[in-house]
Amino acid sequence: MNTPKSLRNILKSSLFAASILSSSASFAEALPSVSSCSFGPGNLLCYTTSGGAELYVASAHDDFVSYGVNAINTFVSMGYSGLTSFSNGLGSGNLLKLFTYNNSTNGSFPDANSGTPTGNAPGNSTFSGWWPTASATFTIANLKSYLGAGTTPVFGFDLGEPQSGDFLMLNGYFDVVDQNGGIKGTFAFDNTFNHAFDAASLVEAPSSQPIYWRDPNGCGSFTSVPGDPTLCTRTISNDFGSGSAEFYAYAPAFNVNNYAEGDTLRFFLNMSNLNGTGEELFLNQAVTPPTNQVPEPGTLTLFGLTLLALGLRRSRQH
């Protein structure tokens, strides 16, 4: 079989999204509770089944935790209990679009930034932009109104780019700004764990990638990591096509109740390696953080990750 990508590359990729939504506006689903996997560094996050299997379904990226839709769906299809597989479709009545490739209004909230590229013309391989655009504002009071009883927004990513086979790279952040222009909080999505946005630190969104899990009953027909018959791997696709979210992510440390209602929010998204397909970033009120939220992501331990990756690579050279 082909050699899977190393765990080092998984670190760069966003395993996002616990769920794909139904079209019903009343649909709601919480992301699964995760904790640090016993394999790899602390940024790899696992859901633990009642039978003691650790399923790698999420990863930490600075201030964010992100989940993979197809990672969840794959483990469900393999028979692991406690997770829910969801049908495709976003449920447009639940969405507040921040960035998109077509004109999109958000009712009483600011319109989406509709500038993400859809063609291969020069200059369309990258995108950087803000939401809200122009003179529009989005306040904590607005966010509370959108979330209802919720306190922490969940971001959805409908990324067309993985379908091209190229590896989209992205990062971003959002600020909370007081009425005097002072920044009260910054929440960054990148691969530098310092609670600050690092423009050069990009997260990879591959079209396919390996997932890992530890099962005390072994790997069955799947590949095991050499020297550890209970640590298993297989490769999955992240391709769902337009209209279905590949990823979901949230910032565990953010809570709307920690800020004044007049404080404003501003969101920044940066993407590179675009190849002419439309990308969307949105909030979805129908997906909520885990009931037991994971701790704030800790310091990344690259050394342990590299050692495990080297072990995988060397085993397939013999």
**Tens-place pLDDT, residues 189-212:** 999 999 999 999 999 887 788 999
Backbone phi, then psi, for 45, in 5-degree steps?
-120, 135
pLDDT tens profile 149-174: 999 999 998 877 555 556 789 999 99
CA distance 251 to 254: 6
User: pTM, whole model, 2 decimals?
Assistant: 0.83
**What's the confidence (pLDDT) of residue 146?**
95
CA distance 287 to 241: 20
CA distance 294 to 286: 19
Give the residue among 183, 166, 193 at the shortest CA–CA distance from 272: 166
**What's the confidence (pLDDT) of residue 90?**
52
Of 6-20, 36-50, 176-190, the poorest mean pLDDT is in: 6-20
Of 105-114, 194-203, 273-282, the poorest mean pLDDT is in: 273-282
**CA atoms 28, 19, 31, 147: torsion sign:** negative
Whether residue 86 contacts residue 21, with contact meaning beta carbons closer than 8 Å, is answered with: yes
CA distance 44 to 309: 13
**What's the confidence (pLDDT) of residue 8?**
38
Per DSSP, which regions of the chain are E strands? 29-30, 35-36, 44-48, 54-61, 64-68, 95-99, 127-131, 155-159, 168-177, 183-189, 203-205, 208-214, 223-225, 228-237, 247-250, 264-272, 279-284, 287-288
Q: Side chain identity at 248, as an amino acid letter?
A: Y
pLDDT at 296 over 60: no
Q: Pairing between strand 95-99 and 247-250? A: unpaired
Q: What is the mean pLDDT of residues 101-123?
A: 80
Instruction: Assess whether the previous peptide bond of 297 is cis (omega < 30° from 0).
Output: no
Backbone phi, then psi, for 243, in 5-degree steps?
90, 5
* Residue 276's pLDDT band (cuts 50, 70, 90): low
* Residue 18's pLDDT band (cuts 50, 70, 90): very low
Q: Which residues contact 79 (CB under 8 A, 6 or more apart)?
A: none
Share above pLDDT 70 across residues of the chain, in percent, rounded to a whole number: 75
Q: Which residues contact 80 (CB under 8 A, 6 or more apart)?
A: 49, 53, 55
